[in-house]
Chain A
Amino acid sequence: MIKKVVSNVSEALEGVQDGMTFMLGGFGLCGIPENAITELVRLGIKDITCISNNAGVDDFGLGLLLQKHQIKKMISSYVGENDEFERQMLSGELEVELTPQGTLAEKCRAAQAGFPAFYTPAGFGTEVAEGKETREFDGKMYVLEPAFKADYSFVKAWKGDEAGNLIFKGTARNFNPCMCGAAAITVAEVEELVPAGTLNPNKIHIPGIFVQRIFQGEKYEKRIEQRTVRERMD
């Protein structure tokens, strides 16, 4: 079996440098690679480009990297929950490329699947399509969107095994599977790392071939952004 297990997050992030482009899984704070983000903050690398659906909140998730001014450019679909983000964007310190959510997911998947680009109807006739090639198919207009190119993907899964196979839980799945194998190196952090042969091959969401490094993460906070409950009727 190909060795993929690394003993800790420092080993998992070996090779990351200033100026690189990273993909980070998660939707809001759900399913984000908490350990990788903490380590990127500790390493203090700068001028990074982050491809991630959201930008965290002020004091958690990618907000931690924003606080330290480590991010040069964000590629996201929605960035609404972060005051520091807004401040840096409006002052011009931070470059932002807003991308429709389905296009963002597909640009990851295209990179994973070996497609250089694809046509999507999303954004046609809007500022998102400005300067991009458009084409008509069956009477409807589409925009050509290129696949992402990234140095590392940082993903978070629920369970993983020594072979790099991954299983996700609930809506913490989101962008994580699309980003596996979509960068030069994919680093998976999991809540529970088990020996090969433990997970049922029928239940694997992402086969290990898309993952280069895997480790068991620590101290998952799993912060809830909008805790919403209903009353119990007695």
Chain B
Amino acid sequence: MLDKNGIAKRIAQEVQDGYYVNLGIGIPTLVANFVRDDISVEFQSENGVLGMGPFPFEGEEDADIINAGKQTITTLPGASFFDSATSFSMIRGKHVDLTILGAMEVADNGDIANWKIPGKMVKGMGGAMDLVASAENIIVAMMHTNRAGHSKLLKKCSLPLTGVGCVKKIVTNLAVLEVTNEGFKLLERAPGVSVEEIKNATEGNLLIEGNVPEMLI
């Protein structure tokens, strides 16, 4: 079974040379730590920066340079700043190659819910609806089950949707899955996790073909 860093590490393998990548808040942010250093990748933050670097050293924080999580950041050579409309032109216009974001629920048709729990949490969708509606290549990073132990991979989302039929790939603490026309196709098992365990933790339709390999991380 993977921890959050393990999930980020596995997703980092999906990042290819020359990609522009948008990382959501939470586990997705950790992906930047595990991208191979022999490839060139630029990270976009939707508040208006491309070419994000690591956090600043203490004393070098600049209130005018933050990421979408409102954290102080630095920029790398080749970085640029831009306004919010331009930022979402990059996203809506499919110029960003890969979007990695968290989710509360994903359905086996690719629907995603990650912005609202009626009556409990109503913080807003931020840029998530724009991202999922436009990106061609979306990977969801999340735990396979919620805190109550219920599956987050469902036949149908119970929470208000962020987008319909948009998720292509999911990496959880238990597995890597692809969304197909017939449901979640199991691609890889996390180290030490059996197909049976994944079956039990998945409420949506799960396709298992032949021997499912263990992930290499």
Contacts and interface: CB of A to CB of B under 8 A. Distances in A.
Interface of A: 27-31, 53, 76-81, 86, 89-90, 96, 98, 100-106, 108-109, 120-128, 158, 168-178, 205, 222-230, 232
Contact of B127 (A102, A109, A169, A224): A102
A98 B65 contact: no
A171 B65 contact: yes
B12 interface: no
B160 A230 contact: no
Contacts of B70: 27-30, 81, 225-226
Interface residues of B, number: 50
A96 B125 CA distance: 13
Contacts of A224: 61, 63, 66, 72
Given A80-B124, A121-B92, A125-B163, A100 B130 contact: yes
Contacts of B191: none
- Give the 5 A-B CB pairs with smallest separation, nearest first: A102-B88, A102-B130, A80-B123, A125-B164, A105-B84
Contact of A126 (B65, B73, B88, B161): B161
B84 A174 contact: yes
Interface of B: 45-49, 54-58, 60-73, 81-85, 87-88, 91-92, 111, 122-130, 133-134, 160-164
Nearest to B45: A171
26 contacts: A27-B47, A27-B84, A77-B125, A78-B126, A79-B122, A79-B123, A86-B122, A102-B84, A102-B127, A102-B130, A124-B164, A126-B160, A128-B129, A168-B83, A170-B62, A171-B47, A173-B48, A174-B47, A222-B63, A222-B64, A227-B71, A228-B55, A228-B71, A228-B72, A229-B61, A230-B56
Contacts of B92: 102, 120-122
A230 B62 contact: no
A50 to B, nearest CB: 14
A203 to B, nearest CB: 13
Contacts of B164: 124-126
B129 A100 contact: yes
Max chain A C-beta neighbours (<10 A), residue from B54, B72, B91, B111? B72
A227 B66 CA distance: 9
B45 to A, nearest CB: 8
A96 B68 CA distance: 21
